[in-house]
Amino acid sequence: MEGRQEAADALARKRRLQYLIIAGFAAIAVIVALIVISQSGGDDDDGGGGSPSNVLGAAQVDAELSGIPQQGQVLGDQSAPVTVVEFGDPQCPACAAFAEQIAPELIASEVKGGSVKYEFQPYLIIGPDSEPAMTAALAAGEQGRFWNFLQLVYLNQGAENSGWVTEDFLRSVGEAVPGLDVERMLADAGSEGTTAAIDEAAEAATASGVDATPTFEIGETGGELSRLEITSLGPEEFRAAIDRLLGG
């Protein structure tokens, strides 16, 4: 019991550190969301925060990902020379801040440009709402819409373990993704395959020493990946690591 408590305390400390690192982006995300809500004439109950009534960011996400190939959880050209892997949880506020403030720049410059393929691996550590959000995203991935769905979940993320991941919420997010068969997605989300994929990813994360979200690995495609520690509020560390791998 004591060992488990020490491990839990260590995880909590690391998560708090990561929150501090990306806190600036989270603050900006809140301001942007408030501006969008005010401009749309809505109030706090009309969008975001896990509300199914009005999914925020659909046009933005569609534009960011337009023209980029997706295969399951992989975004970008499968033969891109550099691979970036993110271990994340759809309930993780730091993951959401990264998805909103850093990922779009990397996707636009490095993934869309063909230098990087970007892979997401689920590592669910926060609580009960994490799994249904993740299984729905994996099911959307079977239709080539994983990243569209996950990015919208992050943009409309609710409070941790508040019960925000309802079927109505997942349906609303799915309906905001162009070309997604929502009924098929909801049916596939309950399959054994999606649960198995989460379990396999958790085993891979444990084997790699992952103990917090978001955690990133980077390396040459087909080669060994190494941990990329994030210590600044921007994409510079990613770009520097990518340039080194490309020989720049």
Q: Looking at residue 128, what is its pLDDT?
A: 96
Instruction: Render pLDDT for 182-231 as a digit per residue (tens, 0 to 9).
Output: 999 999 999 999 999 999 999 999 999 999 999 999 999 999 999 998 88
Structure tokens at 205: 């994360």
Domain boundaries, the chain: 2-246
Could you give the dihedral angle defined by the CA atoms of residues 220, 210, 111 and 62, in that order, rounded to the nearest 10 degrees? 160
Helices 23-40 and 2-21, axial angle in degrees (round to 10): 60
CATH 3.40.30.10 given to domain 2-246:
yes
Instruction: Render pLDDT for 42-83 as a digit per residue (tens, 0 to 9).
Output: 334 445 788 888 899 999 999 999 999 999 999 999 999 999
179 or 53, greater pLDDT: 179
Rounded CA gap, 89 and 122, in Å?
6
Rounded CA gap, 95 and 103, in Å?
10
Cβ–Cβ < 8 Å for 185, 143: yes
The runs of H, that is alpha helices, within the chain are: 2-21, 23-40, 58-65, 93-101, 103-106, 130-141, 146-155, 167-175, 182-189, 192-207, 236-246
